[in-house]
Amino acid sequence: MASKKSASSRSGSAVSALRAGKSAGGSGHGPSLWENTKAVLFTVAVFLVVRTFLLEAYRIPSGSMIPTLLIGDWLFVNKLAYGPHVPFTAINLPGYDDPERGDVVVFVSPNQVDQPDDPTPTLVKRLVAVGGDTVWMRGGLFYLNGLPQRQGFAASQNPKGDGGFSHPLFLWQKPFEVKGTAAGDPPAQPTLDDWGPLVVPPGMLFMLGDNRYDSKDGRYWGFVPRENVRGRPVFVYYSYRADESDRPLPFLTDIRWGRIGDIIR
């Protein structure tokens, strides 16, 4: 009898343990500290792989690409397209595409001597010329290999600035100038609206902002090495009026709902 009662008691204890979510004879403790640590480390590793080699978020801090991109836009950047860069090295892995004229591109800027605190920022501009192309501007109109490249209607509505503005930074252009082209000889002093012709060296890219009179771009700091390219923006995943809102907490109260999901072209 005593043996049957003992067995019954043990059975009842096992059932109670199962109902409580514990295994019979177990300690009843949840996952160990090491198991939790492994889960966290795995999650961090996946995030770093995705961020390094596949997708990365990028925030637009300036108006240099208006109307394509607005201040306060947050983008997802496809890093795999042009070949992801291995951090802390000079290695770029192969991509499945090459940057083409007209692409909006994220890249590491050439050295900007006028901003020693941040001489090589990560920027986003439009690729307008590749190695071997001849480029110039006359009267604010950009020419590529002799053909005028008019901006779309939206970009043409951007405010016009002083096209005669010149800066000592423009003098980088001098060694790349060519004479005797359809554009005539280069101006003695390059300006925002009038410069070149220049020939883009092999392996180099030339970038301009869509908002031509409010863009510190290739006219100032020159050609971009192909290996400086970091990715191609895909779409806007979040946007708010960061520069023009008079509401408190605009990132919550002044969201541009109509821009979310916009494909970047």
pLDDT computed for residue 49 by the predictor: 54
pLDDT at 16 over 70: no
Average pLDDT, the chain: 86
**Residues 6 or more apart in contact with residue 61 via CB below 8 angstroms:** 71
Per-residue model confidence (pLDDT) at position 21: 53
Report the distance separating Cα 242 and Cα 114, nearest Å. Answer: 26
Q: Which of 6-15, 54-63, 67-76, 169-178 shows the lowest per-residue confidence on average (mean pLDDT)?
A: 6-15
pLDDT at 24 over 50: no
Neighbours of 239 (CB within 10 A): 24
- Rounded Cα gap, residues 121 and 217, in angstroms: 12
Integer CA distances (angstroms), 153 to 126, 144, 210, 234, in order: 16, 19, 11, 22
Q: What is the pLDDT of residues 30-65, one digit of tens each?
A: 678 877 776 666 666 655 555 555 568 899 999 999
Weakest mean pLDDT among 81-90, 205-214, 228-237: 81-90
- Tens of pLDDT, residue by residue over 76-133, are 999 999 988 887 788 888 888 999 999 999 999 999 999 999 999 999 999 999 999 9
Determine the pLDDT at residue 156: 81
Query: Going edge to edge, which strands form the sheet with 134-138?
Result: 147-148, 141-144, 134-138, 195-199
Cis link prior to 121 (omega < 30° from 0)?
Answer: no
Give pLDDT, residue 95. 86
pTM of the model: 0.80
- Per-residue pLDDT band for 194 (boundaries 50, 70, 90) equals very high
Residue from 209, 180, 204 nearest 192 by CA: 209
Quick one: CA dihedral 38, 44, 47, 53, positive or negative?
negative
What pLDDT is stored for residue 186 in this prediction?
A: 95
